[in-house]
Amino acid sequence: MTHTWDFATIIQNWQVLWVGLKGTVLIFLVTVVLGLAGGLLVGIARYARSRFLNWPAMAFVEVFRNTPVLVQIIWFYYAFPILTGIEVNPFLAAVLGISLNTMAFSAEIYRAGIQSIDPGQWEAGKAIGMTYNQTLRRIILPVAIKRVLPALTNRGIEVFKMSTLASVVAYVETLNQAKLIADLNFNPIEAYTAVALIFFVVLYPVVQGTYVLERILKKGD
């Protein structure tokens, strides 16, 4: 196998990839915020004693944890509009698929964090007259979230990579733009290699940062 690497056309079309990267960052920001914030609510509901909160939360988690994100995105794009009559654009379909999946996964992380807190902390809050919600907000969550922060940052990194799935409904992000370049210049090898490189260059420093974060958090305990 001999392949002569030629990135000239990629570099010429850097603006096309730049537009894609901006699309990637946009969908990442929206889905990571929705996913991690929504996951907190689902996680709290999952932990609650009330069945009215607990059961729907559990059903939600199981549905979205056990179906592929790619299928969810396609389903929201093609099936959902036919079933409901509501128009769904590529961005919305991808946001729904990725953030619902992230909510389901992060809900379990938050729940595990809440469960890991010593029951004595609940008792101490209760004993000074705090309500369940006050104890949760003031005493339990600050410690629980700090404890699961490494797991949540991992989730965030996954979300960033998951954004490429949005290309399946032709949302304008890095992979989709690379496909465009590949189709026009017949250079798929360079185009997709460029995508991998872009993701690596963006994520590597972030991942290194999370190691530092983990060390700092360990020290605080």
Residue owning tokens 């729907």: 56
The DSSP code for 5 is -
The region of 30-38, 80-88, 134-142, 162-170 touching another protein under the rule CB under 8 A is: 134-142
Tell me: does residue 129 bind another protein (CB under 8 A).
yes
Of the two residues 90 and 113, which places its CB atom closer to another protein in the complex?
113
Tell me: does residue 148 bind another protein (CB under 8 A).
no
Task: Enter the tokens of residue 201.
Answer: 């260059």
Among 138, 200, 206, 211, binds another protein (CB under 8 A): 138
Give Cα separations from 94 to 23, 103, 113, 186 (angstroms).
Answer: 12, 14, 28, 27
Opening angle at CA 78, ends 73 and 83, nearest 5: 110
C-alpha to C-alpha distance for 24 and 8, rounded to whole angstroms: 23
* Min CB(119)–another protein separation in Å: 9
Decide: 172 and 91 in contact? Cβ < 8 Å. no
Tell me: does residue 22 bind another protein (CB under 8 A).
no
Tell me: does residue 134 bind another protein (CB under 8 A).
yes
Tell me: does residue 161 bind another protein (CB under 8 A).
no
The region of 53-61, 79-87, 131-139, 171-179 touching another protein under the rule CB under 8 A is: 131-139
- Environment class of residue 117 by beta-carbon count within 10 Å: exposed (0-12), middle (13-18) or buried (19+)? middle
The DSSP code for 128 is T
Tell me: does residue 87 bind another protein (CB under 8 A).
no
Q: Which of residues 99-128 bind another protein (CB under 8 A)?
A: 118, 120-121, 123-124, 126-128
Q: Which of residues 181-200 bind another protein (CB under 8 A)?
A: none
Of the two residues 127 and 206, which places its CB atom closer to another protein in the complex?
127
The residues of the shown chain that bind another protein, judged by CB under 8 A, are 118, 120-121, 123-124, 126-132, 134, 138-139, 142-143, 146, 221
